[in-house]
Structure 1
Amino acid sequence: MFFNSWYDLLRLVIVGSFAYAGLIMILQTTGKRTLAKMNAFDLVVTVAFGSTFASAILNKDVSLSEALAAFALLCGLQYCVTFLSVRSERFQDLIKAEPRLLFHRGRFLEAAMRDERVTKEEILATMRSAGVADLSGVDAVVLETDGSFSVVRGGTPGPMGTMANVNGADDAGDA
């Protein structure tokens, strides 16, 4: 239970080191975008990297070459998805979510909050985390495509240019 064999430890060190080095080389080749957490697909790839790495070093049935092939496949698929989404608006609409406006200039947008399954308390917690004490200092709270919240501070009456692609911003009058 606490120790199986020296061979198992040696295998873990060797396979782990080579898998790590291989993953780093593959990530260097495919660029920063591979590990960006901009949407759900990015999150899936990041989690899959971790799972594949763990399988490679802990599961004796997974060879180093299989792990490296899996890393390359994940990077390749991520590259294809991002390549197509940058070049095809139709493909982008198919795979990516839109950011959603949940709070606008002192008003909680109840329908949007219900659709996104977000509570008022979660929005208030997000504002507190952003250092906001007074709701009047917040122009908007947006649920981003990666599931994080953005707090847009302001207090200025004009349009907010960063809200151009946010679902619900048109209805709030700020696109």
Structure 2
Amino acid sequence: MWFDTWSDLLRILLVGVSAYAALVLVLRVSGKRTLAKLNAFDLVVTVALGSTLATVLLSSDVSWSEGASALVLLVALQYVVARLTVRLPWARSVVTARPTPVLVDGDFRPDAMRAQRVAESEVRQAVRASGQGALTDVAAVVLESDGTLSVVPASAAGDRTALADVPDAGGQPTWDDRRDRPGA
């Protein structure tokens, strides 16, 4: 239980260093988007990478080459999905959640809050954290696809084009948004 063999420890050290180096190399080659804090899909990929690394380290049934192949496969799949979501708007909606307004022009959106399981106290906390003292001073609070609450103060809302991809938030659609809609 406390100690098996020196060869097991040596295997963990050697495979651990080389698997770690392989993971760092694969992540550097794949770019910043691989571990970005963006959405649930990215979280799943990040957890899968960690789980794969742990399996390579601790399971003598998995060779280093199998583990490195699994790491490359996960990053390659994430890359393909990220490319598809950039090029095909419908693919983006399959993989990521759309942003949801939970407060617009100082008014809560109870149906959206209930559907997204967001409490009024959480919205108020986000408003306070943004430095606003009154809900009426807020143009929108948006639950983003990564789960964070973004606060757009009324004084900084401008023409609201930043809210164009947020349904029912009062944003003017950009050219890309109009093109992506059926019948536009």
Number of aligned pairs? Answer: 172
1:73 and 1:61 map into 2 onto residues whose CA distance is 19
Query: Structure 1 70/100 Cα, relative in aligned 2: closer, same or farther at 3 Å?
Result: same
Instruction: State the identity as a percent.
Output: 47
Query: Structure 1 72/121 Cα, relative in aligned 2: closer, same or farther at 3 Å?
Result: same
Match of 2:171 in 1: 174
2:149 and 2:48 map into 1 onto residues whose CA distance is 24
More relative contact order in 1 or in 2 (CA 8 Å, sep 6+)? 1
1:80-119 equivalences under 5 Å are 80-119=80-119
Query: Structure 1 18/156 Cα, relative in aligned 2: closer, same or farther at 3 Å?
Result: closer
Match of 2:148 in 1: 148
* Displacement after TM superposition at 1:145 (Å): 0.8
2:84 and 2:30 map into 1 onto residues whose CA distance is 15
1:75 and 1:112 map into 2 onto residues whose CA distance is 34
What secondary structure sits across from 1:167 in the alignment? coil
* Contact kept in structure 2, 1:143 and 1:149, CA below 8 Å: yes
**Are 1:160 and 2:165 an aligned pair?**
no
Match of 2:179 in 1: none
* Contact kept in structure 2, 1:84 and 1:91, CA below 8 Å: yes
TM-score (norm 2): 0.83
Bigger mean CA offset, 103-112 vs 148-157: 148-157
* Contact kept in structure 2, 1:138 and 1:154, CA below 8 Å: yes
Match for 1:174: what amino acid? G
1:64-102 per-position Cα deviation (integer Å, ceiling 9, x unaligned): 111111111111111111111222223223322211111
* Contact kept in structure 1, 2:162 and 2:171, CA below 8 Å: no
1:157 and 1:79 map into 2 onto residues whose CA distance is 34
* Displacement after TM superposition at 1:44 (Å): 0.9
CA RMSD of superposed structures (Å): 2.0
2:76 and 2:157 map into 1 onto residues whose CA distance is 45
1:6-155 equivalences under 5 Å are 6-155=6-155
TM-score (norm 1): 0.87
Match for 1:63: what amino acid? S
1:18 and 1:157 map into 2 onto residues whose CA distance is 50
Match for 1:34: what amino acid? T
Query: Structure 1 76/158 Cα, relative in aligned 2: closer, same or farther at 3 Å?
Result: closer
2:80 and 2:71 map into 1 onto residues whose CA distance is 14
1:21-74 per-position Cα deviation (integer Å, ceiling 9, x unaligned): 001111122111111222221111111111111111122222211111111111
Unaligned runs of 5+ in 1: none
1:61 and 1:132 map into 2 onto residues whose CA distance is 56
